[in-house]
Chains A and B, each alone.
Chain A
Amino acid sequence: MKPLPHNLPSPHVRGVGPRGFPLRLQATEVRINPVEFNPDFVARMIPKVEWAALLEAADTLHLVEVPKGPIEGYEHDEKFLRQMHHVLLEVDVLEGTLQCPESGRLFPISRGIPNMLLSDEETET
């Protein structure tokens, strides 16, 4: 699971409002995959990034050289784009957990696949 979809998930647990985002990422096994750099793709993804979530994930994954936010003229800043490319596409969490900051509920990540299924009690109104 790459940090990019991590940007998206928010556990839609009944009773927990949209404040349950972002999920806290913890990783016990991470793989770095070299991926061909596509500056255009990265540049267009920047507006979709949730920076708070990304920075928190970068922190727990001990990633260095992660930009703190979009800088002016980022579309043409190769260094910036390469750093973002690395954190968005080349980092793969194989084992770990996602934790809801509201409820503390842990969602496991196993073999790169997060399991976001809620139990029956959690979905009951």
Chain B
Amino acid sequence: MSDVQEATKQLLDVNLHENWRANQVTESGPRSESEHLQVTIGATVPTGFEQTAADEVREKLGSSCKISKDRGKIYFDISVESLAQVHCLRSVDNLFVVVKEFKDYQFKETKEEVLKDFEELAGKLPWSDPLKVWKINTSFKKKKTKRKKINQNSGREKIDNGQGDKTDEKEDKKGFTNNTLDSHILDYYENPAIKEEISTLVGDDLASSKDEKDEKEETHPKVLKFRVTCNRAGEKHCFSSNEAARDFGGAVQDYFKWKADMTNFDVEVLLNIHDNEIVVGIALTEESLHRRNITHFGPTTLRSTLAYGMLRLCAPQPTDIIVDPMCGTGAIPIEGATEWSNCYHIAGDNNPLAVNRAANNISSLLTKSQIKEGKVSWSLPIDAVQWDICNLPLRTGSVDIIVTDMPFGKRMGSKKRNWNLYPACLREMSRVCKPGTGRAALLTQDKKCFTKALSGMGHVWRKVHTVWVNIGGLHAAVYLLKRTPQLLFILQNKTGKELLGDAKNEDG
């Protein structure tokens, strides 16, 4: 565990213990009962990276996961004491506690009957343990009232797990009219229009984090506010997610006497329906964890959770040199420097705007961890360079890992340009990447162009694995490549023109 993580963990652990003491005083129930509470947690992850997330859970929490393959969800059991650590997972976007799972729910024939069943369901579910978990969870979350206001203005608040599947229908209780496709794209790529609001978030965050330490669990004698979010997918349902949310929500309201509130809610109840599977849960994260590192966005900033997944695929070892030669705003190297701080990360791009944004994001991250850790100064093992991907100022064979988000040709660059760019990139990357042990994880939507470019490079790159991902509705792929032991030799023929070829003899 890195120093940052260790310190964060300790901070969160301290808060949790403080709350245990508070609970003893204010509640009459036995303390030991809550301590040994086992719960099932559900997490949404970038589609395609379910296994990677499961590996992280096993590594950090010791729990094995049930994977909902290709739906971007994993489930695992933990004891409630580990809740703080769950929030430190870097491969998950959103977390919820499972109230009940129905593996094979029997839907009645008519809409009226189905909705009536939902109404009756509300009162029959085992709410008490999940609500205990929710309560504990709320007590160590930061106050985010300022954030909520900003989110409302941007309209992003309602955009939850952007799975992007065509069969998914996602509508909120009161029919928030967002264009679904837009919302999916926004979820994966941050909208530059909200850049200004987001950058003030860091300021608010810093200002409010000082109050964090004094924050104890407030006793809420007032009525809780809630809302229901329903995600429905499947061909054979005779009802809409709107209707389900409405009727289920109505019953929940009657049962708990809570107040319904779409925007300033305390409890978010999740009703996830996929064919015959239903999962009822309570959200533990207010907004997606994936925006954590980036304060200065560009037009195609990658989600931190996706960046983490790609890095993890490469299995970084201590002191590995990890390079993102087309870093954009630096999402990947920044995630790398935070999680794998015993490696060295280099962020490079040819665009001065991008490099500046990356440098700013690095500074913001430094400031954030300075305040959190209370350290005088701090440095991260990361540097930014302005360079040309086709002419990398790096020694041959000096890089252990390359992770990058290649231009899709839709938002940045063009498909035509990719035909020339991709082969040139792969060649130059093969030069700097260490033969035998080097590896690369490359994300692209232009799979055809990539495959063609790769086909001519079998002597230096071996494709090991492909992860199919969904980026804002675009079907993309992450290609995991291994650098072969074959050396690359720069030859010059008689005309002085440089050729990249195979090394026939070892360079003496």
Contacts and interface: CB of A to CB of B under 8 A. Distances in A.
A104 interface: no
Contacts, number: 101
A41 B393 contact: no
A33 B369 CA distance: 14
B153 interface: no
A117 B350 contact: yes
B69 to A, nearest CB: 37
Contacts of A67: none
B394 to A, nearest CB: 5
B152 interface: no
Nearest to A2: B383
B106 interface: no
A30 to B, nearest CB: 14
B393 A4 contact: no
B318 interface: yes
Interface in A68-124: 89-90, 92, 107, 111-118, 123
B393 A12 contact: yes
A2 B396 CA distance: 20
A63 interface: no
Nearest to A50: B395
A5 B346 contact: yes
Interface residues of B, number: 37
A4 B342 contact: no
A21 B387 contact: no
B391 interface: yes
A62 interface: no
Interface in B374-425: 375-379, 381, 383-388, 390-396, 398-399
B386 A11 contact: no
Contacts of B377: 33-35
A21 B395 contact: yes
A9 B359 CA distance: 19
A92 B346 contact: no
B391 A112 contact: no
A45 B384 CA distance: 19
A38 interface: yes
Given A12-B393, A125-B498, A117 B342 contact: no
Interface string A37-52: 0101100110010000
Contacts of B376: 34
Given A5-B346, A41-B319, A115-B386, A123 B395 contact: no
Contacts of A40: 318, 342
Nearest to A107: B393
A18 to B, nearest CB: 7
A10 B496 contact: no
Contacts of B497: 125
B76 interface: no
15 contacts: A9-B393, A12-B391, A12-B393, A15-B496, A17-B490, A33-B377, A34-B376, A35-B379, A41-B318, A44-B318, A89-B379, A112-B359, A113-B386, A115-B386, A117-B388
The 10 closest A-B pairs by CB, nearest first: A9-B393, A116-B393, A44-B319, A116-B387, A115-B386, A35-B379, A33-B379, A34-B377, A12-B391, A5-B383
Given A4-B383, A44-B342, A92-B379, 7 more contacts: A1-B383, A1-B385, A9-B393, A10-B394, A112-B359, A114-B393, A116-B391
